[in-house]
Amino acid sequence: MRRSPSPTLAVPIVALLLAACGGGDGPSDAASVAPASVAASEMTEPSAEPGPSEAAEPSEAAEPSEAAEADPTVTLNGFAFSTGQLVVQAGTEVTFENADTAAHTVTEGTGGQAADDPIINAQVGPGAVTRFTFDEPGTYEITCLLHSTMNMTVVVEG
């Protein structure tokens, strides 16, 4: 028959193991915990500071986009208009800028065909710009007579 170890022998062995691991040394425990808590607070504080200042920056950046709406620009690039639909107020001047190496037209119409008596029909060479003021409320289809896949819509609100 086999005997199990005595509980009185197990207690000193556990105490010896704890002492060897540094469990009984109070000051070393405090020193090892302090740097971790300092490091955690240092990491938390800097990430908390940029939040409010970053939140303030986008609201300031919104002002230039409002100014851009007052004088919208449509870029002709990659044989396409930069937007499929532009909504403006009556009396707004829209700039059409050709960033392609090919000539284009900015023409009222669709699918490469001009509307009857188009309100705009301007040829825009490479690197050139044309401007048009949309005075009357309505929806205007705009196309390029040279490239039938270039189409967009300008919605003019009164």
In a domain, 63, yes or no: no
In a domain, 2, yes or no: no
pLDDT at 11 over 90: no
Residues 86 and 38 in one domain: no
Query: Lowest-pLDDT range, 20-24, 29-33, 108-112, 151-155?
Result: 29-33
Q: What is the residue range of 75's domain?
A: 70-157
Q: What is the pLDDT of residues 127-138, one digit of tens each?
A: 999 999 999 999
Q: 15 or 80: which carries more pLDDT confidence?
A: 80
- Number of structural domains found in the chain: 2
The terminus-to-terminus CA distance of the chain in angstroms comes to 103
Residues 141 and 95 in one domain: yes
Residues 95 and 35 in one domain: no
Identity (one letter) of the amino acid at 90?
A
In a domain, 90, yes or no: yes
In a domain, 57, yes or no: no
pLDDT at 28 over 60: no
Q: What is the pLDDT of residues 71-115, one digit of tens each?
A: 899 999 999 999 999 999 999 999 999 999 999 999 999 999 999
The values of phi and psi at residue 10, to 5°, are: -70, -35
Q: Which helix (H) or strand (E) holds 109?
A: strand 104-110
Question: What global pTM score does this model have?
Answer: 0.57
Q: 102 or 22: which carries more pLDDT confidence?
A: 102
Q: 28 or 142: which carries more pLDDT confidence?
A: 142
Residues 74 and 143 in one domain: yes
Closest to 158 in 3D by CA, of 133, 135, 132: 135
Query: What is the distance between the alpha carbons of residues 135 and 90, in angstroms, rounded to a whole number?
Result: 5
In a domain, 56, yes or no: no
